[in-house]
Amino acid sequence: MEVSENKVVTFHYVLRDKETGEVLDSSQQYGEPLSFLFGKGEIISGLEERMRGMQQGETRTIEVPAAEAYGERDPNLIQKAPREYFQGVQLQEGLPLQAQTPEGQIINMVVLEFDDQTVTVDLNHPLAGKDLVFDVEVVSIREATPEEILHGHAHGPEGHV
């Protein structure tokens, strides 16, 4: 069986920054591989498409350009906000923060700089603008259940809800 539409793929990965070689993430740190329903956008598009056709037990090093990963950095997502919005927060450069919109959406940001009046934050994804390298090992491939196809996501390696 090969990686294709409506297959649940379970795989181990190590994610590295292509430019620096730094390991950014690894399934090993979670103690188990990641499972996803192929073709439903559960993982970044560039990785998913480059896994198409892989077989169980196959390993591959996959390069994913920034545009097909977390996108290019958008300078419009670097914004200044009034310092008063950050009351009770001990600000420091590089501090990751979350905010919530009135609609309940969570917004992630990183403090770039601040003064007595304003705080400059970066709303880009932390991996935006980075070309990525994944070392992938396909652990298993199985047919998706009708429920998984209906729900649009994998329910785990064995298909449990």
Q: Using alpha carbons, select from 54, 6, 148 the residue that is nearest to residue 158.
A: 148
- Only one residue has tokens 């590295």, namely 16
Contact criterion met (CB below 8 Å) for 72 and 54: no
Domain limits of the chain? 7-70+127-151, 75-122
**Is the pLDDT assigned to residue 94 strictly greater than 60?**
yes
**Is the pLDDT assigned to residue 161 strictly greater than 70?**
no
Q: Tell me how many helices (H) and strands (E) the chain has.
A: 2, 9
**The one-letter amino acid at 78:** I
Note the pLDDT tens digit of each residue in 134-157: 999 999 999 999 999 999 999 876
pLDDT classification of 160: cutoffs 50, 70, 90: very low
CATH of 7-70+127-151, one of 3.40.50.740, 1.20.140.160, 3.10.50.40, 3.40.630.30: 3.10.50.40
Quickly count: other Cβ atoms within 10 Å of residue 147's Cβ. Answer: 10
Predicted pLDDT of residue 111:
97
- DSSP string across 78-101: EEEEEGGGGTT----TT-EEEEE-
**The one-letter amino acid at 16:** R
Predicted pLDDT of residue 101:
86
**Is the pLDDT assigned to residue 159 strictly greater than 60?**
no
- Only one residue has tokens 């996959």, namely 62
Note the pLDDT tens digit of each residue in 35-93: 999 999 999 999 999 999 999 999 999 999 999 999 999 999 999 999 999 989 999 99
Which CATH fold would you assign to the domain 75-122?
Thrombin, subunit H (2.40.10)
Phi, psi of 52 (to 5 degrees): -55, 130
Q: Of how many residues is the chain composed?
A: 161
Residues 2 and 71: their CA atoms lie apart, in Å, by 28
Residues 17 and 24: their CA atoms lie apart, in Å, by 7
The helix (run of H) or strand (run of E) holding residue 64 is strand 59-64
Q: What is the mean pLDDT of residues 90-115?
A: 93
Predicted pLDDT of residue 31:
87
